[in-house]
Amino acid sequence: MASIDKDKNKVKIDESSRNVEVLVRTMKQDYQYSYNLFDEFGNLILEAHVPISESLLNHLRNSNIERLYYDPTKAQETDGENVAGLNTGKSIVDEALAMETVQNVKDFMDHIRDIYNFSPGASVSKVRIEESRAQVDKLMASVEKNSDGVFNPITKLKELDDYTYVHSANVSILSAILGSRLEFKKEIRLAMGLGGLFHDMGKAPISKDIVNKASLNDEEFDLIKYHPHVGYKLIETNPHMHDIEKRIILLHHERTDGEGFPFGFDLDQYENQTPREIRLFALCNEYILMVQNKPGVKPLSSRDALRKMLNLVFAPYKKVHSFLIRDFKEFVKALGYIVNNGSYFIVKGDLVRMNTGEIGIIEEMNKLFPLNPKVKILKNHKLETLKRPIIIDMLKDYNNFISNVYDKTGPVKAGE
């Protein structure tokens, strides 16, 4: 997507935007695209599934047109505009406050290690908890003050060991923004922010070599799986923490398909035993896990992370799934534009699958409800090609939703 180059105050296109455009010099006669292609002014140049003619190629070359776009709004977006009207040069939480938050998590985790090493059985200190709560208050004030800004995760790691601290600060900031955008009660927003700082406290006693490792073997992963339970046990009876904060620590890795931990809830348990704010917290956690640079792991762009998360929503045809569509819709409503510099993460021309199993192409986006676009259905649920494609307006049918988006250029998979 387009992003502001702060130094030169101009817009450049990063790698993640490559798949929204086609270079004319790579186009070949008789080739067909499955999407409509537009010029930079949004004019339709080539219809989907129509072979490229020699005369069109000559016209494009003679007119010095270098690129065509799948989305007619894309060219305008690269001029720095964004569909949500956000100030893309402004951070909701500035770097100084974000780094202060990282230090707060580090101090807290050192405290937890001290308890393990020197005073087993001691309670987590009331003073420490209140210090972290004061930090969340500062974050919440910044979120209110800079509500027209955007979110970019902290990526700086002073030392390799800082990964968990930076991750927790990122999750806390993102949860505070989500709570504000969805207008949660102050106590819930405070609890989600504190949950962000504390949710991985059960990792404090685990060797940093394992916590910071890019890929884990089965034995190491089993150890990591204990961290929600270990953390919960440390604060289960602590009178200075609220129930929702405790349950964030315990339940933030539960998933819809039973593959979560520590309990491995099934779909029904996930829906009924994991409160909405904890499920939304889990989405914030998952998003940060995808976009933050872990040593040895290439992070996803915000666009690709959102698309991958969409591919992980539950739909009847999927074996692998992590979230409920209603939660993902709320997550996107609150944060979709804020984390993606004001741009859509799915666009007109994207190939998608619906929860019903049908396959189609997005015909027209809906700004307020980006997950309810107009879709041209090309294949039915048995994946048979329709003789005559039909266009459906998903705004009018709330039972249906997009549950997969496919990438032509990148392997953003998961969920099938």
Binding site for Fe ion (CB under 5 A): 200
Nearest CA to 104 out of 194, 211, 229, 174 is that of: 194
Tell me the Cα Rg of the chain. Answer: 23
Q: In this complex, which beta carbon is closest to Fe ion, that of residue 71 or of residue 200?
A: 200
Contact 351/34 with Cβ under 8 angstroms?
yes
Q: In angstroms, what is the minimal distance from the CB of 388 to Fe ion?
A: 49
Q: In angstroms, what is the minimal distance from the CB of 200 to Fe ion?
A: 4
Q: In angstroms, what is the minimal distance from the CB of 248 to Fe ion?
A: 10
Q: How many CA atoms lie within 13 Å of 123's alpha carbon, on the beta-carbon side?
A: 11
Q: In angstroms, what is the minimal distance from the CB of 199 to Fe ion?
A: 6
- Which residue has the closest beta carbon to Fe ion? 200
Nearest CA to 348 out of 84, 80, 82, 34 is that of: 34
Helices (H), 226-358: 227-235, 243-251, 267-273, 276-291, 302-311, 325-339
- DSSP one-letter code for 207: -
Q: In this complex, which beta carbon is closest to Fe ion, that of residue 287 or of residue 344?
A: 287
Q: In this complex, which beta carbon is closest to Fe ion, that of residue 204 or of residue 377?
A: 204
Q: In angstroms, what is the minimal distance from the CB of 288 to Fe ion?
A: 10
Q: Cα–Cα distance between 37 and 45 in angstroms, integer?
A: 6
Q: In this complex, which beta carbon is closest to Fe ion, that of residue 200 or of residue 245?
A: 200
Q: In angstroms, what is the minimal distance from the CB of 371 to Fe ion?
A: 27
Q: In this complex, which beta carbon is closest to Fe ion, that of residue 250 or of residue 362?
A: 250
Q: In this complex, which beta carbon is closest to Fe ion, that of residue 200 or of residue 286?
A: 200
Q: Cα–Cα distance between 232 and 377 in angstroms, integer?
A: 47
Q: In angstroms, what is the minimal distance from the CB of 244 to Fe ion?
A: 16
> Cα angle vertex 297, ends 250, 160, to 5°?
75
Q: In this complex, which beta carbon is closest to Fe ion, that of residue 2 or of residue 244?
A: 244
What is the SS3 assignment for 130?
A: helix
Residue 321: C-alpha distances to residues 217, 267, 314, 414 (Å): 22, 10, 5, 8
